[in-house]
Structure 1
Amino acid sequence: MITTKDLTKVYRSRGREVTALDGVDLHVREGEVYGVVGTSGAGKSTLIRCVNMLERPSSGSVTVDGVELNALPGQEHRAGRDLREARRRIGMVFQHFNLLSSRTVQQNVELPLEIIGLDRTQRHRKAAELLDLVGLADKARNYPGQLSGGQKQRVGIARALAGDPKVLLSDEATSALDPETTRSILSLLRDLNRQLGLTVLLITHEMDVIKSVCDSAALMRGGKVIESGGLTELLATRNSELARELFPLGEFGHGQPGNTVVEITFQGDTSAQPFVSQLARTYQIDINILGAAVEHIGGRMVGRMRVELPGGHQENVVPIGFLREQGLQVETVNEANGAVA
């Protein structure tokens, strides 16, 4: 549904060049919720603005629903109506809501419908349906100043859906909200994804957002995509940086000198297996659980566990093999610095 190829964006100011995007390749499948995560300055906001052509890429391509957007003339050209039409199919939710304070909630949602030329009756009916969809049917006559932050963001989401988009872009839509409100907005986005078949691309600096709602994710740093893939695939990928960020175990201990410390990744059916007790009984060894991180992602329990086995690695080749036979991913932790070997 969304594909970028070798996407580059360079800003030029006062004789200097700043590369915000450096050859970004991204593929978001139809109907999934895809998260792009990274710290400030990673290039996330520039990426999402290039996807809907609020920013023109310096080079590379952006394709949404089979249309290469950067190949269409800009709005300054007479033929720019093709780009405008393509962008109608892309909804955008902003961090700071961007609602008009002089308009009621209903009128804010109707604004994009006015722009495309719908008559008053059609606008009113459509806006009412959208406000009901986001749980704000009773707030239609209120003004933005009378709403909470979460309610304002729901209005922003309803407005973004006015053009019946196939793609919904979310630019740090929950970063200004408290944790409980954040959870409700993420739940709404997931519900809309399922009910309307929306493809959702969201950017965030919070790993909890990725864990809560995304099917796939990409990690950005310095304008580049460092790693990407489905969350369950990333968990099964050796030395995945994203998986370690999602399930951090670094704060836990590294065991006693001379013993073997391993990290076990489990998901799906393997999460229900009592593999620790089975290992202890089968090989009559004492196992020390140093730490664990467990989450539900996409309805499946996934997580990581760090355990200490008595004796060196050579003495534990068979027990480690036993764990792998159970469908678990097992990696040995470097005794010197706690890194996975």
Structure 2
Amino acid sequence: MITTNGLTKVYRSQDREVRALDDVDLHVRQGEVFGVVGTSGAGKSTLIRCVNLLERPTSGTVTVDGVELTALSGSEQRAGRELRAARQRIGMVFQHFNLLSSRTVQDNVELPLEIIGLDRRERRRKAAELLDLVGLADKARSYPGQLSGGQKQRVGIARALAGDPKVLLSDEATSALDPETTRSILRLLRELNQQLGLTVLLITHEMEVIKSVCDSAALMRGGRVVEAGQLTDLLADGHSRIARDLFPLGDFGTGGDPERTVLEITFQGDAPAQPFVSQLARTYQIDINILGAAVETIAGRLVGRMRVELPGSHTDNVVPIGYLRQQGLQVDVLDLSNGAAA
């Protein structure tokens, strides 16, 4: 649904050049919620603005719903019309709501419908439907100043849906909200994704957002995508930085004792319900030290990571490790010299 190839954005001034995006390749599948996570300055917001061409890339291509937007130029009348039509299929939700304070909630949602020339009666009907969809039917005559932050963001989402988009872009839509309101907005985005078949691309600096709502994710650093994939695949990869940030187990158990073997175990689906630790201990008569564990529901599946310590060297524990893998578990032997999975 959304594909970027070699996407690069360079900002130039008289004495300086900033490469905000550096050869970014990204693929977002139709109907999924895809999160892009990274610290401030990683290039996340520039990426999302290039996806709908609010920022025109320096080089590379952007394709949305089969239309290569970067091939359309606003300088020619026909291409300009094509670009505007393509943008109508892309909704955008902003961090700071961007509502007009002098217009009611209803009128704010109607604004994009006015711009495309829809008649007043149809605008009213459509806006009422959207406000009901986001749970604000009773706030139609209120003004933005009378709303909470979460309610303002719901208005922003309703407005973004006015053009019946196939893609919804969210630029740090929850970063200005408290935790409980953040959770409610994320639940709403997931519901809209499922009810309307929307493809959602969201930008965030919070791993909790990725954990609670996303099917796939990408990690950005220095204008580049350094890791991307479906969350279930990333969590099964012992070297995944996203997985380690989602399930931080700390440094406990990485001291480097050659007479101990430290394992990191990733489990998904039905595996968390299985008592594999106690079964392993009984089967091989070994003492197992649990150093850390975390279990969450990710992309609708129960997923977890656990760090355990077994007595003896790696060679001594080949059979117990094989037993765990036979149970369908992802097992990585921790390299105690650097704390990474071997």
**TM-score (normalised: structure 1):** 0.98
> What amino acid sits opposite 1:116 in the alignment?
I
> What amino acid sits opposite 1:291 in the alignment?
G
C-alpha RMSD over aligned residues: 1.1
Shift of 1:256: 7.8
How high is the sequence identity, in percent, across the aligned residues?
81
Shift of 1:142: 0.3
Q: State the match for 2:50 in structure 1.
A: 50
How many aligned residue pairs are there? Answer: 340
Shift of 1:303: 1.1
Alignment of 1:98-247 (within 5 A): 98-247=98-247
Alignment of 1:1-341 (within 5 A): 1-74=1-74, 76-79=75-78, 80-254=80-254, 257=257, 258-341=259-342
Shift of 1:251: 4.4
- Measured in 1, the distance between the counterparts of 2:255 and 2:8 equals 45
3-state SS of the aligned residue for 2:150? Answer: helix
Q: Deviations over 1:111-152 (max 9, x none)?
A: 000000011101000000000000000000000000000000
> What amino acid sits opposite 2:318 in the alignment?
V
Q: Deviations over 1:27-51 (max 9, x none)?
A: 0000000000000111000000000
> What amino acid sits opposite 1:308 in the alignment?
E
Shift of 1:272: 1.9
Unpaired runs of 5+ in structure 2? none
**TM-score (normalised: structure 2):** 0.97
- Contact map agreement 1:255 1:290 (CA 8 A) in 2: no
Between 325-334 and 112-121, report the one with greater CA deviation: 325-334
Q: Which aligned runs of 4 or more in structure 1 are off by greater than 6 angstroms?
A: none
Shift of 1:161: 0.1
Shift of 1:241: 1.0
- Contact map agreement 1:5 1:60 (CA 8 A) in 2: yes
Unpaired runs of 5+ in structure 1? none
- Measured in 2, the distance between the counterparts of 1:29 and 1:208 equals 22
Shift of 1:255: 6.6
> What amino acid sits opposite 1:78 in the alignment?
Q
Shift of 1:253: 3.5
- Contact map agreement 1:20 1:222 (CA 8 A) in 2: yes
3-state SS of the aligned residue for 2:169? Answer: strand
Q: Deviations over 1:212-257 (max 9, x none)?
A: 0000000000111001000000111231111111111124343783
- Measured in 1, the distance between the counterparts of 2:19 and 2:253 equals 40
- Measured in 2, the distance between the counterparts of 1:89 and 1:64 equals 9
- Contact map agreement 2:251 2:339 (CA 8 A) in 1: no
3-state SS of the aligned residue for 2:335? Answer: coil
- Contact map agreement 1:255 1:261 (CA 8 A) in 2: no
